[in-house]
């Protein structure tokens, strides 16, 4: 007996040692069980997949992600003792041997679920050696892994035909649903397919697949796992297959998401219904947009900054439109789409209020841009200038605020503008002289929806919500009202604000932008050619705005609360108030005050009424002119009898051509005393355009010949600069003729401005006479 025990102990130790050595020499090939990477929406809808390097698609799942009915069917049909044996089932082996010998052929197998998993991980030929290897691997699996871990491998690696592996990929491919949503009939079908995946593929051999499903149902009935009613209904249920489901929404976001996380299941914040609606809008746009033009659209919920839709290009598969290029993330010139930020920062800094007087007049020093419509408007309010997207007032503001400070302020809020190589921050930044991507621009606009705080977009479900202080909530609130077209306090209804948006058109019409803020969303639209080629007649207002409104209307109807369909619930911050202000000073005066030439009702931030901004080159302090008057009210020298110091609110001298006669400097200044005249004059001689026809008269060109009319300037001081339809064409001295040839018909606006800031304008028409 002792000898037997010693022998038994020896062989046991030898076997264990051999198994230990084999386990070390031949480790489990678990690393080979690579899963595909998939991208899902906020409700776990699959919208893109990335197969492994062998082209196999596996949808990663855990046991909790699979229908309990499927687990019941699988374990009942394949291995009822799965949670009790140690990888092999001796009783099943004995039963299989007896049945197969008695019938003279293979009637049933003895492979446990663990053994099947071992064969999936390491395939082998049907042979005695292969079966022994399979048994050893099964024992090895049980040694290293829990039952649930083994079952999870099977769920993800079971073959379902072609390049499909795992219950997750099979459910989506054949049935178009998650494995958690399987019905009892579908659970039985999915259990049967791995037995012979090529022969039982339901998309090819539907009858064979149904017979295999019913065989599984018979087994479930035999062991009373499901009741008879459930079995009966499952057998009566037809197999409904979807068209071979290939997830293919948001391909560019899916590609980008691979760089955001290493997770196999990438859960985004995408709302699949919004995404698919915008994809349809993009595809329909191909018939209306210029050839080779692309379209990018982005929708973010500004309550939590989650991205709900991401259209990176008009059509991912259209090479002629550079469909593979992500235009949401591409750096482009935003042009006027940046303007709201300089207005907001100027309000926050106390430089302006909503009705501050700004100057839409030609510039003669440094940066000299023109407006989109090539004309000048003269005196405009801040709200009007932003609403009309005028260039010159925006340049006036960034000059006062500082371009370097402007870019730094945005950069501190994670909004970096990209300057051309070797460039420094300059005035051109506000008109598109620096690049930005659509996603960063949408993020920046969150300042006007989140109380002055800028938050980065949240693409993934587990992205944190981050906030950067940008401006005060009051400045953000006022700017948003200006964007909505409701800057006039008379339109204010407590707690409500309509849809606000801004457009942009880059130089050469290369980029068309529209960014909008609704009650819940920030919507961004970009249109253009990815290669930067100009597109004729393309602009933000004409090209991008229709898409912006189409998306906004769709989103409004999607909202269930009709109370928020048209308006935005938004309480006015305590730092905002309303005051009556006067032009030209920009400050608070009584309506009957002689210096209150135009009264406006303005939104005021922090109870500040800043004066009208100083104009570079102006001969007097902006808004006010100081002089001395005698008892007759005539201008006199300070030392004269009864001289009293007076202040007169004057319009910026550059606005003179656009002012009524009574508001011009020559009409506003008192008569000079003949007894004791002032020592010197602060106002230069009035400058005028002199030409051989009257204002608004028609010049004629015969037979399309060139016309060089005699036009010169009179008065003023020093050099003068000439602008035709907003474009600087030449400069000369007083009395010198403007040597410009007119060769085309059309309406023209001619403006001249001198070194003192004075200007005059003339408008006329040129027609051709045959």
- 354 within 8 A of 376, measured Cβ to Cβ: no
Cis ω before 584 (30° cut-off from 0): yes
> Is residue 78 among the annotated active site residues?
yes
**Candidate list 336, 381, 443, 543, residue with the active-site label:** 336
DSSP 495: E
**Candidate list 36, 41, 78, 713, residue with the active-site label:** 78
Residue 255 backbone phi and psi in degrees, to 5: -65, -40
512 pairs with which residues across the strands? Answer: 505, 527
> CA neighbours within 13 Å on the CB side: how many for 321?
24
DSSP 266: E
| Separation CA 698–CA 715 (nearest Å) | 25
- Which two structure tokens, joined as six digits, stand for 92? 């099943």
40 pairs with which residues across the strands? Answer: 46, 267
> Is residue 336 among the annotated active site residues?
yes
**Burial (CB count <10 Å: 0-12, 13-18, 19+), residue 528:** buried
- DSSP string for residues in 110-126: ---HHHHHHHHHS---S
Q: 3-state class of 391 per DSSP?
A: helix
Q: Cα–chain-centroid distance for residue 637? A: 62
| Relative orientation angle of helices 68-78 and 184-192, to the nearest 10 degrees | 40
Residues ≥6 apart with Cβ < 8 Å to 77: 191, 192, 216, 219, 220
For the chain, the residue count is 770
Q: Cα–chain-centroid distance for residue 367? A: 31
Pairing of strands 759-769, 698-702: parallel
Residue 227 backbone phi and psi in degrees, to 5: -75, 165
- Which two structure tokens, joined as six digits, stand for 645? 């110091």
Angle at 368 between CA 365 and CA 370, to 5 degrees: 150
- DSSP string for residues in 506-555: -GGG-EEEEEEE-SSEEEEEEEE-TT----TT--IIIIIHHHHHHHHHHH
Give the count of beta carbons closer than 10 Å to the beta carbon of residue 672: 13
**Burial (CB count <10 Å: 0-12, 13-18, 19+), residue 393:** buried
- Annotated catalytic residues are 78, 336
């Amino acid at each position: 007996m002792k000898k037997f025990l010693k022998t038994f102990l020896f062989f046991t130790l030898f076997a264990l040692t051999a198994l230990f050595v084999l386990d070390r020499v031949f480790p489990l090939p678990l690393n080979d069980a690579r899963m595909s990477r998939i991208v899902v929406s906020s409700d776990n809808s699959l919208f893109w997949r990335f197969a492994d390097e062998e082209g196999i698609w596996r949808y990663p799942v855990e046991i909790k992600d699979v229908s309990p009915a499927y687990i019941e069917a699988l374990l009942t049909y394949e291995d009822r003792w799965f949670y009790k044996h140690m990888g092999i089932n001796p009783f099943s082996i004995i039963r299989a041997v007896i049945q197969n010998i008695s019938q003279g052929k293979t009637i049933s197998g003895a492979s446990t679920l663990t053994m099947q998993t071992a064969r999936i991980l390491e395939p082998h030929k049907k042979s005695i050696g292969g079966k022994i290897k399979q048994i050893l691997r099964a024992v090895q699996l049980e040694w290293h892994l829990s039952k649930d871990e083994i079952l999870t491998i099977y769920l993800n690696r079971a073959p379902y035909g072609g390049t499909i592996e795992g219950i997750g990929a099979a459910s989506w491919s054949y049935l178009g649903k998650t494995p958690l949503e399987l019905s009892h009939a579908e659970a039985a079908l999915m259990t049967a397919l791995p037995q012979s995946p090529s022969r039982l593929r339901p998309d090819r051999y539907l009858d064979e697949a149904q017979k295999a499903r019913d065989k599984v149902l018979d087994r479930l009935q035999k062991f009373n796992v499901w009741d008879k009613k459930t079995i009966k209904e499952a057998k009566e249920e037809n197999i409904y297959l979807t068209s071979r489901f290939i997830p293919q929404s948001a391909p560019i976001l899916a590609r980008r998401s691979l760089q955001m996380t290493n997770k196999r299941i990438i859960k985004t914040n995408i709302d699949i219904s919004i995404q698919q609606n915008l994809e349809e809008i993009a595809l329909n746009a191909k018939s209306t947009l210029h050839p080779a033009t692309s379209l990018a659209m982005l929708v973010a919920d500004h309550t939590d900054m989650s991205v709900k839709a991401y259209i990176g290009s008009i059509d991912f598969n259209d090479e002629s439109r550079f469909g593979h290029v992500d235009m949401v993330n591409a750096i482009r010139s935003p042009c006027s789409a940046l303007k709201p930020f300089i207005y907001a920062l100027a309000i926050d800094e106390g430089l302006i209020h909503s009705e501050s007087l700004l100057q839409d007049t030609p510039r003669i020093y440094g940066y000299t841009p023109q407006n989109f419509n090539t004309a000048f408007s003269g005196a405009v309010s801040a709200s009007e200038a932003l609403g009309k997207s005028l260039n010159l007032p925006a340049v006036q503001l960034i000059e006062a605020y500082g371009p370097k400070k402007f870019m730094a302020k945005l950069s501190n809020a994670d909004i970096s503008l990209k300057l051309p190589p070797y460039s420094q921050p300059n005035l051109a930044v506000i008109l598109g002289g620096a690049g930005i991507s659509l996603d960063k621009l949408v993020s920046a606009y969150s300042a006007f929806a989140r109380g002055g705080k800028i938050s980065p977009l949240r693409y993934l479900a587990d992205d944190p919500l981050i906030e950067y202080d940008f401006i005060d909530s009051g400045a953000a609130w006022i700017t948003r009202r200006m964007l909505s077209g409701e800057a006039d306090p008379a339109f204010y209804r407590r707690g409500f604000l309509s849809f606000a948006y801004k457009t942009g058109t880059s130089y050469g019409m290369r980029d068309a932008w529209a960014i909008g803020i609704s009650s819940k969303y920030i919507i961004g639209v970009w249109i253009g050619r990815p290669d930067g080629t100009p597109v004729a007649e393309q602009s933000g207002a004409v090209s991008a705005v229709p898409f912006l409104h189409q998306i906004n209307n769709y989103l409004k109807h999607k909202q269930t609360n009709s109370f928020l369909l048209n308006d935005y619930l938004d309480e006015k911050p305590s730092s905002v108030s309303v005051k009556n202000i006067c032009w030209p000073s920009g400050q608070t005066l009584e309506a009957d005050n002689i210096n209150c030439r135009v009264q406006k009702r303005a939104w005021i931030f922090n109870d500040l009424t800043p004066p009208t901004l100083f104009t570079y080159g102006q001969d007097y302090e902006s808004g006010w002119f100081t002089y001395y008057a005698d008892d007759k009210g005539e201008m006199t020298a300070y030392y004269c009898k009864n001289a009293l110091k007076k202040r007169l609110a004057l319009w910026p001298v550059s606005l003179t051509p656009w002012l009524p006669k009574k508001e011009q400097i020559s009409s506003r200044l008192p008569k000079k005393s003949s007894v004791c005249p002032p020592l010197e004059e602060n106002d230069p001689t009035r400058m005028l355009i002199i030409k051989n026809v009257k204002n608004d008269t028609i010049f004629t060109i015969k037979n399309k010949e060139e016309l060089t009319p005699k036009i010169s300037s009179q008065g003023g001081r020093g050099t003068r600069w000439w602008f035709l339809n907003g474009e600087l064409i030449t400069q000369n001295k007083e009395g010198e003729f403007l040597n410009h040839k007119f060769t085309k018909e059309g309406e023209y606006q001619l403006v001249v401005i001198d070194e003192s800031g004075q200007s005059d304008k003339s408008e006329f028409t040129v027609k051709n006479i045959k």
